[in-house]
Amino acid sequence: MLLQIISVVGALMVLTAYGLNQGGIWRELDSGYLALNIVGSLLLGMVAVVDGRVGFILLEFAWAGLGLLGVARAVRARQHYRSTR
């Protein structure tokens, strides 16, 4: 039952981030968007590990990794913005 709750929370986090992005409320480099995507996919990845679902393990940890790349891009963009002011 706990794994089901964790997976639903993780899925809701990823879907919320995607929905807010598609609705124009968040952009790809917004911290909320990145945080929900990374944490949600890590939760789903942990459930996939426990269930031994190799395809989902790959998908979710790759999704989290891509989110971390987004964080790096956001940090660089903010540093560039500060240096040009």
Burial (CB < 10 A; 0-12, 13-18, 19+), residue 57, is middle
User: Which range marks the domain in which residue 20 is found?
Assistant: 2-83
Distance CA 51, CA 73 (A): 33
The overall average pLDDT reported for the chain is: 95
The structure's pTM equals: 0.88
The pLDDT assigned to 81 comes to 85
Please state, in angstroms and rounded to a whole number, the distance separating the CA atoms of residues 29 and 4: 29
pLDDT at 82 over 90: no
Q: Are the beta carbons of 47 and 25 closer than 8 angstroms?
A: no
Q: What are the tens digits of pLDDT across the range 38-73?
A: 999 999 999 999 999 999 999 999 999 999 999 999
The arithmetic mean of pLDDT across residues 72-83, rounded, is 91
Considering its fold, how many domains does the chain have in total? 1
Torsion angle in degrees (nearest 10) through CA of 61, 62, 67, 70: 150
